[in-house]
Amino acid sequence: MGLRILCAALALLCGGLYLWNWTLRRSLNSAVEQMKTLEEQGSRSKLRLEVPNTAAEALLDQINRLLELRQADQSRWQGRERELRRQIANISHDLRTPLTSILGYLQLLEGEELPLERRAEYLAIVAGRAKTLQTLITSFYDLSRLEGGEYPLERQKVDLRPVLSQLLAAFYGDFTQAGFEVEVELPDILPPVQADPGGVLRIFTNLLRNALDHGAGPLEICLRQEGERVAAVFANAAPGLEPEDVPQVFDRFFTADKMRTGRNTGLGLAIVKTLAQQMGGDVTAQGDAARFELKIFFPCWREWDRR
């Protein structure tokens, strides 16, 4: 009798083990099928077991975490791919615009009966378009070097007032020709800042060029101390700029011209932001089409900051 009971108990145990093994295999096979489906459909759903099992569920939790990381990486990669395609399209457009103009005027210059004054006019236009193209290519290259850490910046003691004063004098003719009214406020007493001299010059040049190319007068420029920083403020009208555009003005391919009809990318302001941040400063933008303000912050110079 005891032997029969023992055999029956063993049979039940074996049957239970077989049933447990069968259900586990079925659950794992189901999980495998779920994974294949998720892979094909790109779904973000999680793997589930049909039958509860603590050890298997712990394993699936780890697999789900890995799947989430993989899906996040895939999403970022897809986003970067879309951004790259957009950038390539924008670069192609911005390079093609001056090139098309140059080729068109060169074709006109081939005319043997073209008057000398008209020939000189066309040559001046070609030279201008070629200069625009050169500036655009240089900006692409400089921004690439900045973002790749290949643009050398040496933080030194810099007095912003003479740098900006000399640059404004150099741009005086450009602003006069464009009909800009320029209001300047440069205090005599202002602490020096910690920055790269070449980087500061590039920032101010880009800001003035941006105002000339994309803005309208009057142009307000001032330097002032704000706590432990010196702020350089540039404000002017910005025709075509919508309030929702303001957060995007430092995007390398932003332009307020939605149809991109001849107005090139926002590389100038993208370079400004990158330079300012790499020199320990910051940049902000606010306003609208009536008054658009850019503010660049430079950390004040301190002897203990010297490298």
Structural domain for 142, as ranges: 77-147
Q: Are residues 163 and 279 in the same domain?
A: yes
In this structure, is residue 223 part of a structural domain? yes
pLDDT at 304 over 90: no
Say what the pLDDT of residue 260 is.
37
Contact (Cβ atoms closer than 8 angstroms) between residue 242 and residue 289: yes
pLDDT of residue 98: 77
Residues 195 and 233 in one domain: yes
Rounded CA gap, 202 and 268, in Å? 9
For residue 77, what pLDDT band results from cuts at 50, 70 and 90? confident
In a domain, 301, yes or no: yes
Higher pLDDT, 73 or 43: 73
- Could you tell me which of 247, 151, 168, 181 has the C-alpha nearest to residue 209? 168
Domain edge (last residue) among 147, 170, 190: 147
Last residue of a domain, one of 121, 147, 173: 147
Print the SS3 string covering 5-18: HHHHHHHHHHHHHH
- Whichever domain contains 127, its CATH number is 1.10.287.130
> How much is the pLDDT for 231?
93
Same domain, 163 and 143: no
* Residue finishing a domain among 123, 147, 171: 147
| pLDDT mean across residues, the chain | 76
167 and 82 inside one domain: no
CATH code (residue 253): 3.30.565.10
Residue 89 lies in a domain: yes
pLDDT > 90 in the chain, percent: 12
Residue 92, pLDDT above cutoff 80: no
- Structural domain includes residue 192: yes
Helix runs in the chain, H state only: 2-41, 54-109, 116-147, 160-170, 172-177, 197-214, 267-278
Residue scoring higher pLDDT (268 or 30): 268
Mean pLDDT of 222-250: 86
271 and 213 both lie in a single domain: yes
Alpha-carbon distance of 281 to 279, in angstroms, equals 6
- Contacts of residue 214, defined as CB under 8 A and 6 or more positions apart, other chains included, come to 238, 256, 263
Better-scored residue on pLDDT, 58 or 158: 158
**Does the pLDDT value for residue 143 go beyond 50?**
yes
pTM score of the predicted model: 0.62
Q: Both 184 and 299 in a single domain?
A: yes
The pLDDT tens digits for 179-219 are: 888 888 989 889 999 998 888 888 898 888 888 888 887 88
Q: How many domains is the chain partitioned into structurally?
A: 2
Confidence of residue 240 (pLDDT cuts 50, 70, 90): confident
Task: Give the best-scoring range by mean pLDDT among 106-115, 216-225, 257-266.
Answer: 216-225
Residues 196 and 297 reside in one and the same domain = yes
**Same domain? 137 vs 165:** no
**pLDDT classification of 256: cutoffs 50, 70, 90:** very low
Question: Which residue is listed with tokens 């990669």?
Answer: 77
